[in-house]
Amino acid sequence: MLINQCPHNIDLLQWICGMPSKVRAFCHEGKWHDIEVEDDVTAYLEFPNGATGVFVTTTGDLPGTNRLEITLEMGKLVCENHTLTLHKLSQNEREFCFQSKEGFAQPSVDVSVVPAEGDNSQHLGVIASFAKAVLHGEPLIASGEEGIRSLTLSNAMHLSSWLGETVEIPIDEDRYWEELRKWIESSKRKDTAPVLFSTEGSYGS
């Protein structure tokens, strides 16, 4: 799931917040489906500047949640249901925390919707960008190097879960390969029949 169903979310995480330095993840294989890979993941992240984060994804929720929340000293940003909402504090939270003499007081909060701008053509936009790069040498929306960081993060989540411990980034690639081989060797042959699955309507407009 981390590699083929939510890599875009991992892309956004590391594009916006940067790469974490440590990861502790819990990947549940076949929790909701008859599969040998993870379908439920919760990961705790630590960043070099001391910030922390939590990444949660699963194929077992319906209708599902797609939410990005970033909490800062002057408020927070919440992106959900195609809307970016800013909660702006009237005073820095760290200053207010140590200056206030009341136990349950809080600074005033101004809530506003941030206008969304820019291209949001989804898969069609990515394919068009690739074609323009090949045909006309135009820059890609995201180069292959960008994918390395997201893959590094998902590999760190896998390795952390397999070992049952916190791992640092960059991870020990030899150890990752050693643990991955164990999963490959334990995989069982599946007797399956071909299935036709339409992806119509999933590529944006």
Tokens for 159, please give them: 């390795």
Specify the CATH number of the domain 7-63+119-185. 3.30.360.10
Mean confidence (pLDDT) of the chain:
92
Which pTM does this prediction carry?
Answer: 0.88
- Asked whether the beta carbons of 36 and 78 are under 8 A apart, the reply is no
The Cβ-side half-sphere exposure at 89, using a 13 Å CA radius, reads 16
- Asked whether the beta carbons of 42 and 53 are under 8 A apart, the reply is no
Res 91: pLDDT: 95
pLDDT digits (tens, 9 = 90+) for 34-55: 899 999 999 999 999 999 999 9
List strand residue ranges (DSSP E) for the chain, in order. Answer: 22-29, 38-46, 52-58, 67-72, 75-80, 83-89, 109-114, 167-168
Query: Per-residue pLDDT for 205 more than 60?
Result: no
Write down the domain spans for the chain. Answer: 7-63+119-185
- Residue 204 makes CB contacts below 8 A (sequence gap 6+) with 120, 121, 122, 123, 124, 125
